[in-house]
Structure 1
Amino acid sequence: MSSSNVLKSVREDDFVEYFLFPSALDQNDVSLENCEPQLEGLRSEVIKLAEDYCQRYIWHRDGFKVVLRTGDLQQRLLIEASNMEEENVRLPPHLYGITHYGDNVQDEWFIVSLLLHLSRRVPGLVVRVVDSDGEFLLIEAAEHLPSWANPERCEGRVFICDGEIHLVGTKDQKDPFPMDRILLELKDESRTKWVVSNTIQSCIAERIRDFPNHIEDNHHRATLYVPVGVAAVLEENPQLISAAVLAFCNRDPIDLKVCRAMRYFPPENCVYVSAVFTKCLYAMLQHAQYLPDRRTGWSLPMPSDPNYKAHILGLKLACGFEILTSQAKSSASLETDKGWKHYFESLKAKGYFQENIEGSQEYTRLLGVAKDYYQQNCDSMKFTPKIGDEIITILNRNDYDAEELRKQGLELPTPDDDSWMNISAEELDEMLTKRYGTRKLFSLNGNTNSEEFTSMVNDFLEQKSEFDGVDQETAAAQLDLGPYKPVRPKRTKSKTKADTQPTSQLNQPIDFDPDAFGAHVKHLLDLVIPEDRWDSSDNSDMSDYAEEDYDRNIEEMSPTRTGRAVKNEIQTYMEQMDRELAQTTIGKSFETHISAQEGETRGEADDFDDIESFKPVNIDVNTLKNMMESYQAQIGGPGPAANLLGSMGLQIARASNGESSGSTQQTDV
């Protein structure tokens, strides 16, 4: 990471932002000093409710926290200098928070559950929550949104109030309301008109149904063999286990040097402890590959030993705590903090110090405010939090008893079974089906109407496709196939003498209609072989026209020969090709309208002498047959047939194991 982008790294994809607006605040009062005490009172109430709600939850990376934003010029410059807010929109006074959830997206939905809880407990609270994808609440219920609700039109319209999701605005409105009007709309008793449908509410409720009553379902308890210092830290603050796991899994070569020294957590004095992880943290620690340096002093049992898992997990966790503790020294002073230096330069570039002389009283005051703000929000700026300082504080107390911790390690609860990490393909399919549901099935078997299937394929191919996907409107498919009549463009000026003069048709402007042009191209490409009427003495005008046109084209193609001679030569050549192809695998691979018994009777005697017995190829049957053979060749994986059918909304189930690949099978689409 370059030094110029240190502060910009906050905008990763693993964050969720939330804005809490108190609707009871008088937005017409321009004196922001009056709103700060009210915001501080709201913040105290929110923090108390959040602590009660989150007391059993283990955060993967950042926890829930909010700060005051009064909206004055000084605070806006502090925020802009940290590059924490991309939108240059001035918002009313509110509480703001940002949480990085890392690899565990469950933290994001737990925050949604918490915000819904806060909106029920705090009267008049209006909440907006977004992530790197924007209005992710609507993304979760995308299949149930109205047709007009696209990402551009819904941006800035989704709010939480009274424990319900609100979509403020009408379908005819392109831009969202200003924030002050939105607060008035949601403060009014008629705000129920903005509540989304029950189906959308149910999608969100289903996503957060495990919170907060079933938080433990996502926990995993394990036994570890760790140094006594690690046992003391975990006993005082079990939440630090997530930071230690992340520090170990994200280690770099410098961190590996620290792990070889083990200055703070030497392996000479270790005890057994019972620790609680989230399933995500436990899986990360379990699958992280690491072998300690022999010079460090770690003594691991054989992998077949029952205590091997406790030893290797404790070793990894101890290395994570060692990495965190080693980082505390480098972050002890702002003078050596590179992040603070870049933040300070950004403040000066934005005119934060207002041309005050360095060292003056006002300059010193503004500098102190900036340092306090930086220290409070440096973790939101993506810098390493001061967890190492907290760990060192616990170690320096020296009030923990190693012998007591060893005795506690003799009576530990039974660790949880970690077989949940081993998932078969069938279990994964079942989980996906439970999560996303099943699609409507369409049966394809030996009795399937092939014409119906090919009709579905043709209908799909005739639909419009844009960057948003296939347009399901059928108006585009119903094009006029009549004669194309160019429309003369309307004149926008009055007629002059020059306008009335005759001009060449090539110089006339043309009003091009792409739909009509496409319709005529499609009409030309839809070639249909006319019905065979060799025995008919009555030749239609169309037949005469086709024969005359064919003869004329042959003559034009070969000016040195007579048209009749060339036509006979081409016909002879084509008949010879048909005879040769009929006896090959290519010719036999097509399905015709004749029955199988009739085909066997004819066998090799079919030399096309009897033109009356000729049966054309059944295009519908061959389309269906080739589609199924293509899907079987994919063995259930991605491919042309699966992609095409998936785009059409069809899902094909796998054949049973007892069926051969060549037999007729029961397939569900």
Structure 2
Amino acid sequence: MAEPQSGRPLGNPSQDSEIANTQSLPENCIQYCLFLVDPNTQNNHGNHLSRLEDLRKSAFHLTTRLTSDYIWQKGTFNLDIVTERGLTFLQGTTDYGDSIEDEWLIVYILRELSKSHPDVWVRVFDSDGEFLLIEAANVLPKWLSPETDQNRVWINNGSLRIVPQLSDESLNIKLLTLPEAVNIIRVAPDKLVHSDFIEAEAFYRLEKYPGQIHKSLHHALVTIPRRLAHVLRQNPKAVAPAVESFYLRDALDLKTLLSRKTELHFPPKDLVTLSVKFTRVLFAQLKSQRFEPPGPWATVVQEANGVEQARLEMGMKITCGFEIMLNNIEKTDSREAREAWIVVEELQEDGDAVLPGDDEINSWRDARREDDESWMDINYADFENELAGRRGGTREGSHPGFGDPTTQADLRKIVSRFEAFLNDDSAGLDGAEVDEMDIDDESEEDDEDEDKAISFDEAEFSRMMREMMGLAPAGCGITSAPNEPDATATRFARAALGKDGKERESDDEELQKLSAQFEAELNAHGALSLMQPRNDASVLNDKDKGGNAAVGGKTIAATADHMATNNDYGADDYDDDNDDGEVDIDYNLAKNLLESFKGQAGMPGPAGNILGMMGLQLPRDEDMSDSEGNKG
């Protein structure tokens, strides 16, 4: 029986340990705690430890059954018996690296485990806090905020349950400690709230499991040295730390590879072609890297062409990853890496006589398997066809939509979350607030219109954008220069900021500069594409013949039609409701969001940061010139 470990608070000792753990949890890590809550065994410590050990074995058995062929990105599912603040329970922490799938796989394992053990209560969180509630942010009650949600979210018997706000908490909001939460579960489990709406949103990503476990794997044919093929045969999961070593390589690692004095573990000779199993994340990391072949590989790669060269390049990257990993074996704590090192040492002792022959390699399972790589491609034409199809219907004989149902659902979720963000009536002129403590002490307001659909008034949009940008009114026909003061914009800023007298005058110049920078930023990312004038004299009037309101000398309806024309769409791609000049906000939101993300060129930026805060990650675009790639 495993001895319980003493809990180690990671943060300020004066704070509750669970809060400190949440704040000090390393990035890309998930922590999970399993409690056995049974009134009949609370006073029998020995029996409780025995049952925890049985639960631990059951959890590992379930994990092995579900993930026997799975490759973890970095850390694996693990559990230890710990004692903290008078509570003895199972606890584990996993570093999932760049693979968000690993995090949700752990949540799936924990939920399945709770179904077979009704007396198990699971708490799970990551460096962002209660990420299950983040997923369900649109349907949470107002009182359940990041400042009050600690230790309130639990998984029991496959369901999501929330410790409610007690009557005495409404006047004096305080954080719920872990012992208090466990005591409530033990004494009055029926008081915990279960909402189908919150559970559906929180567990939305689990709908694709367990099938997603195998769908997230990718097999590819690569050409590698026979010695490495032998190592991968003995330990196929060692590909994860090897890819990480290649992906995070530095100048010292490359110096070792390029040095002629270094004896390589896997020299580029006696090459064989076989299928190697990756996760999609690992394969994408390897595929996306631009890497100049080191000396020993340069001639081999250059002499090949076509498909053979592509397989050689992938094999070269894997081999270099293993070389870097083994050169730094003393610094790694990866179990798979150490097991691969043991195989290499045995190979050095036994010699090449133990290496597999070609016939043996071809007899291996999935030895020639090569999966389709189309999941890595983002076709923006298909993306726009998808958005056009939802407005104008599917064209005859065309595919009903781009991507698989999961991709389409994710796209709709991105748009819906941005709509919810825009519909947040509680947001003010200061924008999104992310202070550590921003508890609202004011009385609750009516939430009826939080879920209302976005409406669009062309005239109001025109007026507000002109005021914000410091442009002349629509009737003037002349646009003010960005650096010239505009009376309307000044009045708007004064009314919003509450300035008066000399203080207002001193802020005018700064406001104009900020407005110009704001306009330039939006134009750079295409967010103001609706206001760009065409080279057509007929759209320079402030109103079109149909009486539609105009923005900057161009009607919104005309702009939408022009955008469709530029993207090779016909008039039949739109619903009849477009005739009234109304713009499809979903289309423009998603289009501008992707263009903004693409404009970041892989660097941090506003679009990527906002999506990251929402728990969403877009794949990296690869249509850049070769000169921009990473070279070893």
Q: TM-score range by the shorter chain?
A: 0.5 to 0.7
Quote how far apart the aligned CAs of 1:668 are.
Answer: 2.9
Tell me: CA distance 1:626–1:265, structure 2 relative to 1, closer, same or farther (3 Å). same
Partner of 2:28: 14
Quote how far apart the aligned CAs of 1:322 are.
Answer: 1.3
Q: How many residues align?
A: 427
1:159 aligns with 2:154: yes
Quote how far apart the aligned CAs of 1:136 are.
Answer: 0.5
Partner of 1:320: 321
Partner of 1:50: 63
Partner of 2:412: 437
* More divergent stretch after superposition (98-107 vs 430-439): 430-439
1:393 aligns with 2:342: yes
1:74-85 paired onto structure 2 within 5 Å: none
- 5+ residue gaps, structure 1: 1-7, 72-89, 332-382, 441-456, 476-517, 526-584, 598-620, 638-651
Quote how far apart the aligned CAs of 1:110 are.
Answer: 0.8
Quote how far apart the aligned CAs of 1:163 are.
Answer: 0.8
- 5+ residue gaps, structure 2: 1-21, 387-402, 417-421, 434-439, 448-490, 499-536, 572-578, 586-632
What is the DSSP-based 3-state SS (H/G/I as helix, E as strand, rest coil) of the residue aligned with 2:218? strand
Q: Return the TM-score normalized by structure 2.
A: 0.58
Query: Deviation string for 1:617-646 (max 9, x for gaps)?
Result: xxxx78x42289486899899xxxxxxxxx
Quote how far apart the aligned CAs of 1:130 are.
Answer: 0.5
Tell me: CA distance 1:461–1:10, structure 2 relative to 1, closer, same or farther (3 Å). closer
1:406 aligns with 2:358: yes
Tell me: CA distance 1:94–1:467, structure 2 relative to 1, closer, same or farther (3 Å). farther
CA–CA separation in structure 2 for the residues paired with 1:461 and 1:211: 36
Q: Return the TM-score normalized by structure 1.
A: 0.55
Whether contact under 8 Å (2:63, 2:109) holds in the other structure is: yes
1:145 aligns with 2:70: no
Tell me: CA distance 1:654–1:436, structure 2 relative to 1, closer, same or farther (3 Å). farther
Quote how far apart the aligned CAs of 1:427 are.
Answer: 4.2
CA–CA separation in structure 1 for the residues paired with 2:346 and 2:558: 68
What is the DSSP-based 3-state SS (H/G/I as helix, E as strand, rest coil) of the residue aligned with 2:272? strand
Quote how far apart the aligned CAs of 1:401 are.
Answer: 5.5
Quote how far apart the aligned CAs of 1:461 are.
Answer: 9.9
* More divergent stretch after superposition (199-208 vs 423-432): 423-432
What is the DSSP-based 3-state SS (H/G/I as helix, E as strand, rest coil) of the residue aligned with 1:154? coil
Whether contact under 8 Å (2:25, 2:126) holds in the other structure is: no
Quote how far apart the aligned CAs of 1:177 are.
Answer: 3.9
Quote how far apart the aligned CAs of 1:436 are.
Answer: 5.0
What is the DSSP-based 3-state SS (H/G/I as helix, E as strand, rest coil) of the residue aligned with 1:391? helix
Partner of 1:102: 97
CA–CA separation in structure 2 for the residues paired with 1:99 and 1:93: 20
Task: Decide which of 49, 61, 78 is 1:65's aligned counterpart.
Answer: 78
Whether contact under 8 Å (1:157, 1:167) holds in the other structure is: yes
Query: Deviation string for 1:360-379 (max 9, x for gaps)?
Result: xxxxxxxxxxxxxxxxxxxx
What is the DSSP-based 3-state SS (H/G/I as helix, E as strand, rest coil) of the residue aligned with 1:437? helix
1:224 aligns with 2:233: no
Partner of 2:232: 234
Tell me: CA distance 1:97–1:25, structure 2 relative to 1, closer, same or farther (3 Å). farther
Whether contact under 8 Å (1:169, 1:177) holds in the other structure is: no
Whether contact under 8 Å (1:267, 1:297) holds in the other structure is: no
Tell me: CA distance 1:474–1:94, structure 2 relative to 1, closer, same or farther (3 Å). closer
Quote how far apart the aligned CAs of 1:207 are.
Answer: 0.7
Quote how far apart the aligned CAs of 1:395 are.
Answer: 2.1
Quote how far apart the aligned CAs of 1:653 are.
Answer: 13
Give the aligned residue type for 1:151.
Answer: P
Tell me: CA distance 1:155–1:423, structure 2 relative to 1, closer, same or farther (3 Å). same
Partner of 1:115: 110
Give the aligned residue type for 2:82.
Answer: R
CA–CA separation in structure 2 for the residues paired with 1:24 and 1:474: 41
Partner of 1:668: 584
Quote how far apart the aligned CAs of 1:151 are.
Answer: 1.3
Give the aligned residue type for 2:244.
Answer: L
CA–CA separation in structure 1 for the residues paired with 2:162 and 2:134: 13
Give the aligned residue type for 1:92.
Answer: L
1:206 aligns with 2:204: yes
1:564-643 paired onto structure 2 within 5 Å: 589-590=541-542, 624-626=549-551, 629=554
Partner of 1:180: 179
CA–CA separation in structure 1 for the residues paired with 2:189 and 2:561: 49
Partner of 2:12: none
Tell me: CA distance 1:234–1:185, structure 2 relative to 1, closer, same or farther (3 Å). same
CA–CA separation in structure 1 for the residues paired with 2:362 and 2:239: 21
CA–CA separation in structure 1 for the residues paired with 2:91 and 2:193: 24
Tell me: CA distance 1:106–1:463, structure 2 relative to 1, closer, same or farther (3 Å). closer
